[in-house]
């Protein structure tokens, strides 16, 4: 069996078990399955939408029901899943919990590897951002106060999208056009990969990176496109950088922190779980039953609120 098929099966079982007793909070308003491709239709609302786009180019928006008339700041989330797994559904309760902290939370699907190669996920992220710029103001969303979160492979994609957003040379290298009508004020990079060339073989993620490219020399391609630090500059948004004591990607945090500091980028970093190290596992913050998730998500949304304009 291909490793990515095994991952999709086993990780879905784990995530389903994690969330099985959770319910949609009564004080959250949800828009489901908004099509963010060309035209921005509701999924199924147009017969001319390609089947693949109906499946992958969908987003949800979660907002607090109790809100003022002022536009809501927006968090755009890029889900994790080792580049080969994941949908917005496994992030819905996490997203709703952040919405209740005073944000609109945009939660989207993107095309997965190996069926879709790099930079497909970044192309889809650009589509989401364009959709938000076109439609956000009419929905009461503040496109002058946008924040980005991502975890694991999603943190990697988030770090690369923000590199393209702040560095036109990298955007040109990838052939993407980040949406500049949005003002991205800060980001949170959680339990992430930032340099796949220093992944440890026991992580099991070095081979997953190969799924992003068709070429056999995928490590050369990774060196050209996927090392976030090579594309940092002073225009990169402020970063909340997080990991846990039992996160198998913890070794990625310090090098990324050093690169951010050397590039003059505001960075707050925190490692959670000293009180109970075993429970600060990989992407613990999306598990609503985890003892450390509230502290982490409170810290990150406070960081965002400190950067509102």
What is the per-residue pLDDT for 201? 57
In DSSP notation, the chain reads --HHHHHHHHHHHHHHHHHTT----TTEEEEEEEE-STT-PBTTS-TTS-HHHHHHSEEEEEEESS--SSPEEEEEEE--STTT---GGGGHHHHHHHHTTT-EEEEE--PPTTTS-TTHHHHHHHHHHHHHHHHTGGGTEEEEEEEEEEETHHHHHHHHHHHHHH-HHHHHHHT----TTS-EEEEEEES--S-GGG--GGGS-HHHHHTT-SSS-HHHHHHHHT-GGGG--TTSPPEEEEEETB-TTGGGHHHHHHHHHHTT--EEEEEE-TTSGGGSBTTGGG-TT-TTHHHHHHHHHHHHHTT--
pLDDT digits (tens, 9 = 90+) for 146-199: 999 999 999 999 999 999 999 999 999 999 999 999 999 999 999 999 999 998
In degrees and rounded to multiples of 5, residue 252 shows phi and psi of: -85, -20
**What pTM did the predictor assign?**
0.94
What is the per-residue pLDDT for 234? 96
Which regions of the chain are under pLDDT 50? 39-47
What is the per-residue pLDDT for 39? 45
What is the per-residue pLDDT for 64? 97
What is the per-residue pLDDT for 46? 42
What is the per-residue pLDDT for 38? 62
For the chain, list the domains and their CATH numbers.
3-305 (3.40.50.1820)
What is the per-residue pLDDT for 67? 87
Token reading at 6:
């095994």
What is the per-residue pLDDT for 15? 97
């Amino acid at each position: 069996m291909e490793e990515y098929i095994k991952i999709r099966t086993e990780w879905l079982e784990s995530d389903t078990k994690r969330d099985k007793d959770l319910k949609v909070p009564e004080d959250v308003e949800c828009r489901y399955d908004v099509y963010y491709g060309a035209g921005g239709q509701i999924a199924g609302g147009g017969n001319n939408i390609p089947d693949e786009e109906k499946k992958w180019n969908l987003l949800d928006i979660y907002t607090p029901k109790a809100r003022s008339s002022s536009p809501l700041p927006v968090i755009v989330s890029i889900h994790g899943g080792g580049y080969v797994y994941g949908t917005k559904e496994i992030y819905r309760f996490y997203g709703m919990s952040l919405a209740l902290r005073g944000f609109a939370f945009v939660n989207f699907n993107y095309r997965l590897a190996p069926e879709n190669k790099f930079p497909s996920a970044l192309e889809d992220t650009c589509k989401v951002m364009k959709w938000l710029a076109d439609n956000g103001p009419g929905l009461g969303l503040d496109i002058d106060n946008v924040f980005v979160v991502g975890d694991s492979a999603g943190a990697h994609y988030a770090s690369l999208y923000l590199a393209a957003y702040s560095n036109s040379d990298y955007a040109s290298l990838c052939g993407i056009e980040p949406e500049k009508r949005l003002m991205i004020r800060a980001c949170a990079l959680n339990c992430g990969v930032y340099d796949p060339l220093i992944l440890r073989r026991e992580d099991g993620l070095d081979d997953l990176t190969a799924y992003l490219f068709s070429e056999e020399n995928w490590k050369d391609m990774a060196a050209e496109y996927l090392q976030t630090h090579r594309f940092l500059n002073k225009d990169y948004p402020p970063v909340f950088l997080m990991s846990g004591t039992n996160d198998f990607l913890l070794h990625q945090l310090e090098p990324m922190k050093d690169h951010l500091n050397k590039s003059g980028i505001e960075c707050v970093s925190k490692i959670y779980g000293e009180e109970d190290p075993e429970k600060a596992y990989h992407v613990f913050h999306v598990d609503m039953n985890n003892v450390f998730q509230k502290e982490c998500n409170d810290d990150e949304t406070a960081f965002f609120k400190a950067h509102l304009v």
